[in-house]
């Protein structure tokens, strides 16, 4: 069923204006969502490297607030089994800032810039996508380290908050390589799905970001940028060695996020409309 018919576009009981109003409240067709997301990806691929880097740096810094607010909430709650369910709300903060502020986040690009690659299927587009990934990832991680360094400055936060920061910072490196990879697959899947849902969310964009990022938080899944703030803090505060950052967190999380975003979302969602695109082309 097309989106127009679902919206009453062929109904004899509606005037033309009423049909347009109905269409405005209908859910966009999958092909429409695909093209909106793909156009975002095409625009990102055309951006200069400097613009990507500054936007990526801003995103890395913004994601630091997920770590900080989560620690502040955790510090103010009793040590119970449900504490992480409330503190997890703080994890959403960075995602809200980054997504609504249109800052460049690496895990978003596992969907947006992959769709142009799947559409054009040429070396130039693939090279542009890899360039964007490299620039944005490096800038995101630089931002997370800068934010984590600020958190290590003494006498800024209360001892209870510092204690919560110390505890949370070890979580990204608390599991084995393949366990972390699988948890990262789910996180990459969810964040890419969030990007796919946003074009049809309209006024519920904030709620969509909150819901998806909250699921990532309470499920304790591994996100390469949000987790990088925590793991970087652990390294800078001398709670963990750089080796653990690279091998127990960064490598498996990056691998899992890419698999989750690219293969389980970009390819599947593209495949669902590929035949329709070819037919219309």
Domain assignment present for 33: yes
Residue 3 lies in a domain: no
Structural domain includes residue 13:
no
Answer yes or no: is 99 within a domain. Answer: yes
**Assigned token pair, 69:** 């607010």
At 188-232, the pLDDT tens digits run: 999 988 988 898 887 889 999 999 999 999 999 999 999 999 999
- Which CATH number belongs to the domain containing residue 161 in this structure? 1.20.1080.10
Percent of the chain surpassing pLDDT 70: 84
Residue 6 covered by a domain? no
Considering the entire predicted model, what is its pTM?
Answer: 0.86
Q: Which domain holds residue 61?
A: 27-276
pLDDT of residue 1: 38
Which tops the pLDDT comparison, 279 or 171?
Answer: 171
pLDDT at 164 over 80: yes
Q: Is the pLDDT of residue 281 over 70?
A: no
Which pLDDT does position 273 carry in this prediction?
67
Position 19 in a domain: no
pLDDT in tens, 226-249: 999 999 999 999 999 999 999 999
- The verdict on residue 14 lying in a domain is no
Number of domains in the chain: 1
Give a yes or no: residue 259 inside a domain: yes
- In this structure, the number of other CB atoms found within 10 A of the CB of residue 158 comes to 12
Long-range contacts of 270-273 (CB under 8 A, 24+ apart): 270/34, 270/114, 270/115, 270/118, 270/119, 272/30, 273/30, 273/31, 273/34
**So what's the pLDDT on residue 59?**
97
């Amino acid at each position: 069923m097309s989106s127009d018919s679902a919206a009453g576009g062929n109904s004899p009981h509606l005037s033309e204006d009423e049909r347009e109003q109905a269409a405005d409240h209908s859910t966009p067709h999958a092909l429409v969502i695909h093209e909106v997301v793909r156009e975002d990806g095409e625009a990102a691929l055309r951006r200069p490297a400097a613009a990507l880097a500054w936007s990526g740096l801003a995103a890395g810094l913004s994601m630091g607030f997920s770590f900080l607010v989560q620690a502040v909430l955790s510090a103010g709650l009793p040590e119970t089994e449900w504490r992480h369910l409330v503190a997890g709300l703080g994890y959403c903060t960075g995602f809200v800032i980054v997504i609504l502020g249109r800052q460049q986040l690496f895990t978003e690009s596992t969907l947006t810039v992959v769709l142009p690659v799947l559409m054009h299927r040429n070396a130039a587009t693939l090279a542009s996508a890899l360039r964007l990934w490299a620039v944005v990832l490096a800038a995101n991680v630089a931002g997370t380290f800068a934010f984590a360094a600020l958190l290590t400055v003494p006498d800024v936060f209360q001892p209870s908050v510092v204690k919560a920061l110390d505890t949370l910072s070890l979580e990204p490196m608390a599991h084995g390589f393949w366990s972390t990879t699988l948890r990262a697959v789910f996180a990459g899947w969810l964040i890419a799905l969030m990007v796919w849902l946003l074009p049809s969310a309209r006024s519920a964009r904030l709620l969509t970001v909150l819901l998806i990022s909250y699921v990532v938080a309470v499920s304790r899944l591994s996100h390469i940028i949000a987790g990088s703030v925590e793991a970087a803090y652990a390294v800078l505060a001398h709670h963990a060695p750089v080796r653990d950052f690279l091998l127990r967190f960064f490598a498996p999380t990056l691998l899992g996020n890419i698999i989750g975003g690219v293969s389980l979302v970009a390819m599947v969602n593209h495949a669902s409309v590929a035949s329709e695109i070819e037919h219309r082309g």
